[in-house]
Structure 1
Amino acid sequence: MPRKFLKRFMPDVHKLNQYGVLKPFGAVAHDTNLWHLNRKTAAGGFAIGIFFAFMPMPFQMIAAAAVAIFFRVNLPLSVAMVWISNPITMPAMLYGSYRVGSFLLRQPSEPFLFELSVAWFQASLSTIVPALVLGSVVVGGFFSGLAYLLVRKIWRQAVQNAWNERLRKRRERLRELKEEFQKRRTASFDERD
């Protein structure tokens, strides 16, 4: 069942409180409905978390938590999916988003040399940042939508498989009961003769 699988990887409220992600939301973040796990809330949590994982912004987890609270989807999954963007994956994600944004804006890709200075930042605002932001929204939206559909499909398939397994076991048990009934019936007829 997807619920059991996902619960193994979901952060608990105490861990999220340690990081301070939920502090800005106070008691609202502890609403039990935001921690409930079903097909709709899991798919929404995945979608929101993956969308914000692609956003080139600080405090992605807080933004994902705020949107998850607003849309009433699974809060821990939203926050956990943001962790897809980490120091190892972030350069590839940002560069890919920048390339998509450059393509959509029909501008040539510029060398992506990062420099921690005010001059670089000011120059990037007009050249790199528009393509990066547009590409991040498009790529994040695409993968977010894909994640939403996949989670709903996988969840539905798992539920369907569980129902089919129950039905198979029920039919098997019914067949065994019929066979047992036939044996007893035959045995009672044999005793009469």
Structure 2
Amino acid sequence: MIRYLKLKMHKIGRATKRSVFLNKYFPKFNDRIYWAGDRFSFARAGFIGSFSMMLPIPFQMVLGSVLAYYFRANIPLATALAWITNPLTMWPIWYGGYVFGTWILGTPDLFEASAHITIGSQLWFDEIFPLIWKPFYIGNMLLGTIIGSFMYISIAHFHWASIIGLLRRPFIKN
């Protein structure tokens, strides 16, 4: 089973590298830094993926991949981190960003006050959205920057190899 998955991954990788569209619009796409990379390529991908994960926009994965290309970061890691916000997790994550934005801006949380209005209705867009858009976007962008910075620092400046080496040592018996 593992051998089958490895063969499928290589087949997908070869097809991706031979893509006419990608090679035409992204000429350096086959560069090793985007797929294997080094510690700083992974660190940049950690920031980009975490930041784009928190943005309340559609197609975060595409944005993360394109930003990873232009900032020479690891594309698979940036794309995978952007997948953290999926249809099941986006609502609690974005609500947390909204609450953080209300705390930063000092505005009241209108979630309880607007519980009787259906989200996405015309009345909601006319009455509630003009009041919540600023804390919603600012809170999510700030949290994305904070989480992304934490990811960058932890990947770039924390030597994972030494920790893994310590974990693989046999226990010393007394």
Could you say whether these structures have the same fold, taking a TM-score greater than 0.5 normalized by the shorter chain as the test?
yes
Which residue of 112, 119, 123 maps to 1:115? Answer: 119
Change (3 A) 1:150 1:13: farther
Q: Which runs of 5+ in 1 are unaligned?
A: 1-7, 166-193
Change (3 A) 1:13 1:136: farther
How far the C-alpha of 1:124 sits from its partner, in A, is: 3.8
Higher helix share: 1
Among the aligned pairs, what percent are the same residue? 26
Q: Show CA shifts across 1:3-38 (max 9, x none).
A: xxxxx9xx8893896xxxx96955454433322321
Which residue of 129, 139, 147 maps to 1:143? Answer: 147
Change (3 A) 1:108 1:12: farther
The whole-number CA distance in structure 2 between the counterparts of 1:29 and 1:123 is 46
How far the C-alpha of 1:54 sits from its partner, in A, is: 0.7
Query: Residues 89-100 of structure 1: matches in 2 within 5 Å?
Result: 89-100=89-100
The whole-number CA distance in structure 1 between the counterparts of 2:64 and 2:41 is 14
Change (3 A) 1:64 1:142: same
Match of residue 54 from structure 2: 54
The whole-number CA distance in structure 1 between the counterparts of 2:33 and 2:85 is 26
Change (3 A) 1:109 1:161: closer
The whole-number CA distance in structure 2 between the counterparts of 1:115 and 1:13 is 44
How far the C-alpha of 1:106 sits from its partner, in A, is: 1.0
Alpha-carbon contact 2:33-2:41 (below 8 Å) kept: no
Which residue of 12, 15, 21 maps to 1:14? Answer: 12
Once superposed, what is the RMSD of the aligned Cα atoms? 3.2
The whole-number CA distance in structure 1 between the counterparts of 2:119 and 2:25 is 35
The whole-number CA distance in structure 2 between the counterparts of 1:13 and 1:135 is 41
Query: Residues 155-170 of structure 1: matches in 2 within 5 Å?
Result: 156-159=159-162
The whole-number CA distance in structure 2 between the counterparts of 1:57 and 1:159 is 38
How far the C-alpha of 1:117 sits from its partner, in A, is: 2.5
Match of residue 88 from structure 1: 88
Alpha-carbon contact 1:12-1:76 (below 8 Å) kept: no
Q: Which runs of 5+ in 2 are unaligned?
A: 1-5, 169-174
Change (3 A) 1:12 1:121: farther
Counterpart of 2:153 in 1: which secondary structure? helix
